[in-house]
Chains A and B, each alone.
Chain A
Amino acid sequence: MGAIQNKLAGPVTEELELVRAAKGGDDTAFEELVRRYDRNVFRIAQHITQNREDAEDVVQEAFLKAYGNLAKFQEQSKFYTWLVRIAVNEALMKLRRRKPERTVSLDEEIKTEDDSLPREIADWSPNPEQQYTQAELREILSKTIHGLPPGFRTVFVLRDVEGLSTEETAAALELSVPAVKSRLLRARLQLRERLGKFFQKRESGDGNQ
């Protein structure tokens, strides 16, 4: 079993040229940055807020903030990492507004170290996702990831869905590298366990599992 490859964002130097042009007042360059990253920001925002309208707002607010603060962007990180940090903060603010009864923080320590230890080891059927239609699968994946605490699902989405490196994820979330790694492991194991309910190998003639 080999390692999973990350998909990386476009060439960094080209991105920097666009950022510098945008800083100099070239709005077409900024629009190109929007075009390049709007899908990613939308996906991240919807994963965090779990709400389509909120995600649309986050896309607008994040880019508008980036535009207004472009002069402050130091170019020490990738523009995309900086943008993700703005978008994550906007999305968490939306979530707090929607769920004021629960404090939403990326720093929350969630349960004990043991809560994600595998309890269910049963193997999955081969190509388990093909047992469901695309719409059913999306529903399953969406509900499953929604069940994770925001601090876990945000790390999982940035690392595993968007392909940021551990260091970039840590920078975007203002977390330490060990904290990102620990959350990522627990998020992956919890998702695996929850998906097992849908993807488990079924014994023939036995409806109960």
Chain B
Amino acid sequence: MKCAEFLHELTNYLDGVLDEKTKVELENHLSWCHNCYVVCDTTKKTIEIYRDSQLYELPEDLRGRLRSAIMTKCQQQKKRGPQSV
């Protein structure tokens, strides 16, 4: 496997959807190509950091306010009868 092919398969590899043969070829490539190993490792870290970041968590007080606003508006909509929204 060449570096360009590795890059092409990287997303499938990280998502765990590569067939066994390609996975073995890719891991073999990673065992000797340091650059691709670093790209693979830091891409994986990138995903994990974003996943674990708790970026844009909805604060509980705002959450409560939004929910009650939503339910009030839903009930108003119901009273007005079916309509296109």
Contact = CB atoms under 8 A, between A and B. Distances in A.
A8 interface: no
B14 A129 contact: no
A191 B46 contact: yes
Contact of A27 (B39, B58, B75): B75
Contact of A141 (B43, B55, B67): B55
A16 interface: no
Contact of B66 (A43, A56, A138, A184): A56
A166 B50 contact: no
A141 B52 CA distance: 11
Contacts of A43: 55-58
Interface in A160-209: 160-161, 163, 166, 181, 184-185, 188-189, 191-192, 195-196, 199
A135 B56 CA distance: 12
B12 to A, nearest CB: 8
Contacts of B74: 27, 30, 63-64, 67
Contacts of B48: 4
Contacts of A64: 70, 73-74, 77, 85
Chain B: number of interface residues, binned into ranges: 35 or more
A196 B39 CA distance: 10
| Interface size class of chain A, counting residues whose CB lies under 8 Å from the partner chain | 35 or more
A15 interface: no
Contact of A60 (B38, B57, B69, B85): B69
Interface of A: 1-5, 7, 27, 30-31, 34-35, 38-39, 42-43, 46-47, 55-56, 59-60, 63-65, 67-69, 71, 117-118, 121-124, 128-129, 137-138, 141-142, 145, 156, 160-161, 163, 166, 181, 184-185, 188-189, 191-192, 195-196, 199
29 contacts: A1-B41, A3-B14, A3-B15, A4-B51, A27-B71, A34-B67, A35-B67, A38-B58, A38-B63, A38-B66, A42-B56, A42-B66, A43-B56, A43-B57, A47-B55, A55-B56, A56-B62, A64-B70, A64-B74, A68-B84, A71-B82, A121-B38, A121-B39, A123-B41, A138-B55, A185-B11, A188-B46, A192-B46, A199-B42
Given A1-B30, A43-B58, A71-B82, 16 more contacts: A1-B41, A4-B15, A4-B51, A27-B71, A31-B71, A38-B63, A38-B66, A43-B56, A55-B56, A64-B74, A69-B85, A128-B45, A138-B53, A161-B55, A192-B43, A192-B46
